[in-house]
Structures are given as structure tokens and as C-alpha cells.
Amino acid sequence: MPAGTSSSGRGWGVPEECEEIARIPRDQGIGDRPLGERLMAMAGMGNILARMCRGIDDRKLYEVVTAQLSDFDEYARALLDYVAEDLREEGSEVR
């Protein structure tokens, strides 16, 4: 596979940073922009946790872990909608 090509072959690029895992699909129209921004912020929190052992904002971490879990459900629905539309365009039956 050529460098810079995703495994789907769509040429979206390969994420190099955690935030890009959410940014790339957001930029391709999967989910809305605010959801993509929230997911990017969560990925950024993961980077912080991975790189720091002290000085973590416990309140922010708690907020992300508890209050924003519904963002993952919303993102999963957006991904399913995107894949279903792609399959319909290919002529596949989608329930």
C-alpha cells in the first residue's frame, strides 16, 4: 500500500498523532464537527495521560471519562450511517 493511504484505500492518510484518529474521519464528514472536536480533545487527554505521571487534572479526567461517554455512542452511529451509505452506493442491501 502506498505511504499516506489508509487501509480503506480512500487516501485519507494515516494518523500520526492520536488526535488525527478523530480528525481524519471528521474532515471526511463522519459525524458533525462538534463531535469530532470533542473526540479530538479526548484523544489529546489520552496523550497527556500517556506522557505525564503527575499533574493530571483529576476533575477534567473525571469529566471526560464519565460525562462524555455518550460521544462514543454518537460517533459509532455516525460511522454506521457512513458505512451503510457506502454499501448502498455499491448496491448492497443494508438493514
Q: Is the dihedral of CA 21, 27, 30, 32 positive or negative?
A: positive
**This prediction's pTM:** 0.55
Q: Which residue has the cell 451503510?
A: 84
Rounded CA separation 31/36 (Å): 7
Per-residue pLDDT tens for 55-81?
667 787 787 778 778 888 888 888 889
Q: Report the C-alpha gap between 39 and 58 in whole angstroms.
A: 19
What is the per-residue pLDDT for 2?
A: 44
